Every structure is written in C-alpha cells, then in structure tokens.
Structure 1
Amino acid sequence: MIKFENVSKVFEDGFQALKSINLEVKEGELLVLIGPSGSGKTTTMKMINRLIDPTEGEIHINDTLVQDQDPVELRRDIGYVIQQIGLFPHMTIAENVALVPKLKKEDSKKYMKKVDELLEMVGLSPEVYRERYPNELSGGQQQRVGVIRALAADPSIILMDEPYSALDPISREQLQDDLVELQEKIKKTIVFVTHDMDEALKIADRICIMKDGEIVQLDTPEKILRHPKNEFVKNFIGEDRLSTFYNLPPLEEALNKAITARPNKGLAESIKRMRKHRVDSLVIVDKEQKYLGIVTAWDVHKHYKEENYTLGDIIDNKISVLGINDKFEDAVELINNAELGYLPVIDYDNKLKGVLTKGSIMEVLADEFLDI
C-alpha cells in the first residue's frame, strides 16, 4: 500500500531526520509510529502526503511514486487529522466535515448524506450537532469531527498526527476506544503518530519504534512486548509494561491432568474411555509414560471398521508439544493455534507431564493481571 525505499531526509540546517529507512504499510492496517523527540516519526508521516519531501529515496502509494503527484490533489485523497483539530470556526460542523468533498466537486446531496452517516458513526446525532459551530463542542467532540472530516471523501489512507495528545485522560481513552471500533468497520490504512506507548499498544496492528532517524523495531504490540529487540526498546516500553510477560510463572503451574491411553488399546475401548472422561481425544503414552502422540475421536471414527486396528496404528505424532521448561509467553502464542484446544507438555526424557489448555492459561494470566 505505502512503501518507503531507502528514504533519507536532511533539512537545510544540516539535521538528518531520516537515515535510509525502508518501511511498508499494509493495506487496511493501523500502523503506529512512535519514538522520542527527533526520532523521525512525524517526518516519516508527513512524507506520505508531501508535506515534507525526501532528500533521497522513493515513496510509493499503490506502486505510484508520491514525488510525481501533485501535492494538492494527493492531499485531497488522503485524510489528515492533527492535534490542533483545525476545524474552521466560522463553519458549521456539517460544513467542516463536507469541506473536502465540496472542494472535489462531488455531488452535494450525496456528501451531505454522508456527513449525517459519519456523525451517527461517532455518536454525534446529526439533528443535534449538524448546525452547531466548533466552539459549541467539547474538545473530545471536536476531535471526533476532525476524524470524520478526514473520512468524508472516503480516502484509502488516513494520517493522524498525535490527534489525542491535548485531551484529558478520560476523553483520550474514549477516543482511542472509538478509533479501534471505527477501524474494525472501515478498514482504512491508518498511519498514527504518538509519543504514548500505552496508546500505541492499545490501538496498533503494528508498531514502528524509531530512534535517531532509524527504525529500531517494527512488529505487532504482542511481539514487541514479548521480544523487545534491545535495551532501548525495553526502556522505551517501560518495565511496568514488560513485567506482565517477564514475571509469568513456569508452565508446570498451569498444567492439567491428561487423559491417556496405551498404543495397544483397541478402538472400541478408546471410545468408551473418551465417553467416560468427556473428552474427544486421548494422549497416547507407553508404559514408561513417554509421549507418543494424539488420537482423536474423528481418527477412531475413520478407522473403526478396521477390527484389528489399535490406537498405535492411528497415532498423530505431528501435534505441537511443549517442553516443561519452555517460556510461558511462548506457550500462550502456541495455544492460540492449537486445534485441539490443548498442548501436551513433556520433560527432557519425553515423559508426559500433563497438558496445557486455553482455560488453564487464562486462569494463570487472570491471577497475574490481578496482582499487577
């Protein structure tokens, strides 16, 4: 969608704001640019709509070179939301929202209908707010209008430059919730600049952490919390946020007892065992309790007519397993993709220690979060 290729920026005073960065913003994602003052995050965002041009490198939107496009036309096709909101005080709310569609000479009936729909979308009744002026609205309400004004011409890209930083904490948190909910509906490509890590973690699909004009780490909030790349990232995130992941207990504290069976057991007997314990699969172990694999009720059903088959003939040994000393945070990630809803846990001798379930993980996480 948006692609930076070896982009650098040196200002007239000699300050190098960006140092040959490469960055790709995916279509429909909300990417947050974050970093300390002077890191290059705002410069990066403003290059997308040519408020700033690069010294070197290329920027493409849908394979079209940004530098070749007329800045005015480009900006009319990109929504832009800023901290100061920038509503025109002499215009009504409806006139402010409709400004860009009007400049683009779109059909007035269509875009005024769109204005009402957008006001409804952010919880501002058109009948109440359409004819009001900006000074009659609270700061949070004005910022909502700023957001829908950026949406009025239905742009594929929206740039948001620290839009909530001047608001009180309660309004700010509400608008962050609104943005997450709104993005689920509209699926725009949003580039959002902030200096607030809590805000970034809450709203972002991916976070781009910058320092001294370079990208230090670019990943999902989850992976950045679990695997900060270096000391700078750890310090920037903060120990309080990281402690949730660093202080998690060993896996052994979250294990449940596995319902097991030996590989020589018949299929009819296995069905009886599953019914008795109200499960739809069995963990197969040998006489020394060494893990061999899994057999599900579906596996038994497929081969039930084979009278001479035992569980050993239909074992699935490709199921992911965890080691007893694996990190808890890695287990959380794996369990989300576990088709059976659980993962066997083994020790160094391949002996089964138990199973980790989504429920047991949630119990441990709930206890940890309550202690934070």
Structure 2
Amino acid sequence: MIKFENVSKVYEDGFQALKDINLEIKEGELLVLIGPSGCGKTTTMKMINRLIDYTSGNIYIKGEAIKKQDPVTLRRDIGYVIQQIGLFPHMTIAQNVALVPKLKKEDPVGYMKKVDELLEMVGLEPEIYKDRYPKELSGGQQQRVGVIRALASDPSIILMDEPFSALDPISREQLQEELVRLQEEIKKTIVFVTHDMDEALKIADRICIMKSGEIVQIDTPERILRHPANEFVKNFIGEDRLENAKSMDFPPVEEILSKAVTVKPAKGLAESVKILHKNRVDSLIVVDKDNIFLGIASAWDIYKHYKNEELTVKDIMKTHHKTMKMDNSLEDALVLVNEAEMGYLTVVDDADRVRGVITNADLVELLVEEFAD
C-alpha cells in the first residue's frame, strides 16, 4: 500500500532527519510511529502526503511514486487528523465534515448523507450536532469531528498526528477505543504518530519504533513486548510493561496448532461424511485450491442435507465463522475461542490460507500447564 525505499531527509542546515528508511505499510493496517522527540516519526508521516518532501529515495502509494503526483490532489485523497483538530470556527459541524468532498466537487446530496452517517458512527446525533459550531462542542467531541472529517471523502489512507494528546485522560481513552472500533468497521490504512507507548500498544496492528532518524524495530505489539530488539527498545517500553507481558509466557500460536481437516467446495456430501468419520471431527473447513479459507461445513448441516445428491459442501457451508491470524497472540485466542460456534478457531496467515486450528482443549491444556508451574 505505502512503501518507503531508502528514504532520507536532509535539511538545508545539514541536519539529517531520516536515514535510509525502508518501510512497507500494509493495506488496511493501523501502523503506529513512535519514538522520542526528534526521532523522525512526524517527518516520516508528513512525507506520505508531501507536507515534507524527501531528499533521496522514493515513496510509493499503490505502486505509484508520490513525487509524480500533484501535492494538492494527493492530499485531498489522504485523510489528515492533527492534534489541534483544526475545525473552522465559522463553519457548522456539517460544513466542516463536508469540506473535502465539496472541494472535490462531489455530489452534495451524497456527501451530506455521508455526513449524517459519519456523525452517527461516532455517537454524535446529526439532528443535534450537525448545525452546531465547534465552540459548542467539548474537546473530545471536536476531535471526533476531526476524525470523521478525514473519512468524509472515503480516502484509502488516513494520517493521524498525535490526535488525542491534548485531551484529558478519560476523553483520550474513549477516543482510543472508538478508533479501534471504527478501524474494525472501515479497515482504512492508518498511520498514527504518538509519543505514548500505552496508546501505541492499545491501538496498533504494528508499531514502528524510531530513534535518531532510523527504524529500530517494527512488529506487532505482542512481539515487541515479548522480544524487544535492544536495550533502547526495552527502556522505551519500560520495565513494568515488559514484566506484565512476561507474567503469562505463552508460546507462539504456531506451536500449539492442531491439524485442520479441510475439503474443497465441490466435494459431495457422501464423501464429506466419510471424511468426518475418518478424522472423528464434527465439522470440515472449506478451502479453495490455494488453501484459502472459505467457510465451515458442520456435521449437522452435512447430515441434514445428505439425501440431496445435487448439493456440495459449498451449498451448505457457513461463511461467518471467526478466524484468527498467525500473528495474533494466544491471549487473543482465549477471547476469540469463546465466541467460536464450533469450539475451535481456524488459524490463517496474512493471505487467509488455512494453517491449522486451535481448539478449546488445546487452550485448556496450555492453561493447566501454565498455572501448574
């Protein structure tokens, strides 16, 4: 989605803010840039929408070098949320949110409907709030408006520059939770700058820790907590957080995977019954030719439709079952398995290829061993 290739930034006075940065931000992920003041995190983020231009290297969005793009057009296709919120005081909330779609000459009927939907999405009733002015809202409410303004033209990328740092602790925590919930719904590519490690650990899919213009470590919150790259990262995270992460030292997901019993969607129901019996399972995981997860066919549904010779597994499988990624933690599995209808979680890689399953029994055995120690 966004790719940095050997990107450096040297200012006219000779100061090198970034040193050969190589970074790839995946589509739909929330990446947090974090580090001490002057580490280059904000510079890195502002290069994505060309508020700061790089000295050497290249940055690509969807394979296209951003230096070839008009900066104004580029910025109108990238949402931007800042700490100071930046709402125009003489405009109503609706006018503020609709600003970019209006500049892009989108259909007014469509974008005003979108304004109402976005306000509802963050818990601000349109009938109450859309005709108010920014000064009539609390700081937390204004920041919510700042977030949805960045979403109004449906950009694929959103940049967030310490958006919650000026808020009181309660409002800040609420907005962090709101952002996590929103991201689950909208799946945008979000680059979020913060100096607060607790905030990063709470919201990030991956965290990029920077120091003196270089990337020190980039990984999931779980892996950074368990495997800090060096003393700088350990000190930046803090001993308390590291100790809490070690309090229950679960193995990585791949170490407790059980074999997944899979079938192709064209498999007939009579053959599926044989597979159920042979493997002594009560459901089959349906995958395509590339082993990508499609759904689950339960024994109950297979037996219920068994007499219909025209049906295949594809016709009776359910597609709404939860899956878990390989880079999720086993702590995540403990939560998710309770919501899994079949009593197990299908574990998939980043391409949704099935790698195995985690069962209730696997987790119970793991917990027994952990607490027995």
TM-score strictly above 0.5: yes
Runs of 4+ residues deviating >6 angstroms: 330-336, 363-368
Deviation (angstroms), 1:333: 9.4
For residue 278 of structure 2, the aligned residue among 284, 302, 306 is 302
- CA offsets 1:41-75 (integer angstroms, 9 cap, x no match): 00000000000000000000011110111111110
State the partner residue of 2:84.
84
State the partner residue of 1:131.
131
Percentage of identical aligned residues: 74
Deviation (angstroms), 1:358: 1.2
Output the CA distance in 2 between the equivalents of 1:190 and 1:300.
Answer: 43
The worse-fitting range, judged by mean Cα deviation, of 189-198 and 332-341 is 332-341
2:32 alignment partner, SS class: strand
Please, what TM-score do these two structures have when normalized by structure 2? 0.71
- Structure 2: where are the runs of 5+ without partners? 252-273, 281-328, 335-344, 348-355
Deviation (angstroms), 1:134: 0.1
Deviation (angstroms), 1:13: 1.8
State the partner residue of 1:339.
357
1:19 alignment partner, SS class: strand
Is 1:30–1:191's contact at 8 Å kept on the other side of the alignment? yes
State the partner residue of 2:112.
112
State the partner residue of 1:269.
none
Is 2:250–2:330's contact at 8 Å kept on the other side of the alignment? no
Aligned length: 285
- CA offsets 1:250-291 (integer angstroms, 9 cap, x no match): 99xxxxxxxxxxxxxxxxxxxxxxxxxxxxxxxxxxxxxxxx
The answer to whether residue 229 in structure 2 is matched with residue 211 in structure 1 is no
Deviation (angstroms), 1:339: 3.1
- Structure 1: where are the runs of 5+ without partners? 252-297, 305-329, 343-355
Is 1:59–1:65's contact at 8 Å kept on the other side of the alignment? yes
Is 1:332–1:361's contact at 8 Å kept on the other side of the alignment? no
Amino acid at match of 1:302: K
1:339 alignment partner, SS class: strand
Q: Write out aligned runs for 1:1-372 (5 A).
A: 1-248=1-248, 301-302=277-278, 339=357, 341=359, 357-359=362-364, 361=366
1:158 alignment partner, SS class: strand
Output the CA distance in 2 between the equivalents of 1:97 and 1:150.
Answer: 8
Output the CA distance in 2 between the equivalents of 1:249 and 1:302.
Answer: 36
Output the CA distance in 2 between the equivalents of 1:208 and 1:363.
Answer: 35
Is 1:18–1:40's contact at 8 Å kept on the other side of the alignment? yes
Deviation (angstroms), 1:144: 0.2
Output the CA distance in 2 between the equivalents of 1:357 and 1:94.
Answer: 51
Larger radius of gyration: 1
The alignment yields a C-alpha RMSD, in angstroms, of 2.8
Output the CA distance in 1 between the equivalents of 2:131 and 2:163.
Answer: 24
Please, what TM-score do these two structures have when normalized by structure 1? 0.71
1:142 alignment partner, SS class: helix
2:54 alignment partner, SS class: coil
Deviation (angstroms), 1:359: 2.9
* CA separation of 1:40 and 1:301: change in aligned 2, threshold 3 A: same
